[in-house]
Amino acid sequence: MSKDGVDNGRRRFLLWSTSTVGAVGAVGIAVPFVGSWQPSARAEAAGAPVEVDVTKIAPGQAVRHEWQGKPIFVVKRTPEILSKLGEITKQDMLKDPMSEKEGTKQPGYIKPETRSIKDDVFVVIGICTHLGCVPQHKKELSAEEGGGFFCPCHGSKFDLAGRVFSGVPASNNLEVPPYSYKDDKTIIIGIDQGAV
């Protein structure tokens, strides 16, 4: 004890114990806060690439998957469908037949005529470019148009290469996501062809 009646030993003990408890509390608060910056397992899974076995898709059929929270259609096109795509291009029924319009989103490595890497398999994000509704796959839109995608919200129509028809509200073709072939039967949605 000092001459003015203050116990310095007790004062140091209280100072150190209070500081220690405060530091432990700060770490206890900081750890969950910093941990909240990390994406959840669900968020990481939503952004992960998606593998699709194209041999399980029947000719003319479209299957729906999800990648990054977006609907993805994978369509197995027949020779008849590919022939119809060529006819539609020649008949001047499309707003952007070669996907050259600014705002059209597609990887640079796909063929502009079919908007795919291989002609028989088409991969597209199923979100209408007008107001973001999910179009429906239709085997027939009309006798002239062949199959494609029809948006039930405002009537936009797209062919089986995701190209938008003239005279509908949507102005851009459907977006083609990055994708690649793992082997002859499997595609990976979410990985660029050049990265494989």
Examine the residue annotation and report whether 154 is marked as an active-site residue of this protein: yes
| CA-to-CA dists, residue 190 to 147, 171, 176, 179, angstroms | 26, 25, 11, 5
Q: Quote the pLDDT of residue 147.
A: 75
Give the integer Cα–Cα distance in Å for 187 and 144: 31
- Tens-binned pLDDT, residue by residue, of the chain (196 aa): 666 777 888 888 888 989 898 888 888 888 887 777 776 666 666 678 999 999 999 998 999 999 988 999 999 999 998 888 888 888 888 898 888 887 778 888 888 889 999 999 999 999 999 888 999 988 766 556 667 899 999 989 999 999 999 999 998 999 999 999 999 899 999 988 765 5
Ordered by start, the domain boundaries in the chain are: 1-38, 44-195
Give CA–CA dist 155/167, Å, rounded.
10
Residue whose entry in the numeric block shows the structure tokens 């990265």:
195
Q: What 3-state DSSP class applies to 163? A: coil
pLDDT at 72: 94
Predicted local confidence at residue 88, as pLDDT: 85
Q: Tell me what pLDDT residue 164 has.
A: 92
Looking at residue 13, its amino acid is F
Q: Which amino acid is at 81?
A: I
Query: What CATH number does domain 44-195 carry, 3.10.20.310, 2.40.37.20, 3.40.50.300, 2.102.10.10?
Result: 2.102.10.10
The answer to whether 151 touches 129, Cβ cutoff 8 Å, is no
Residue in 65, 130, 137, 154 annotated catalytic: 154
pLDDT, position 41: 66
Question: Tell me, what's the pLDDT at 104?
Answer: 77
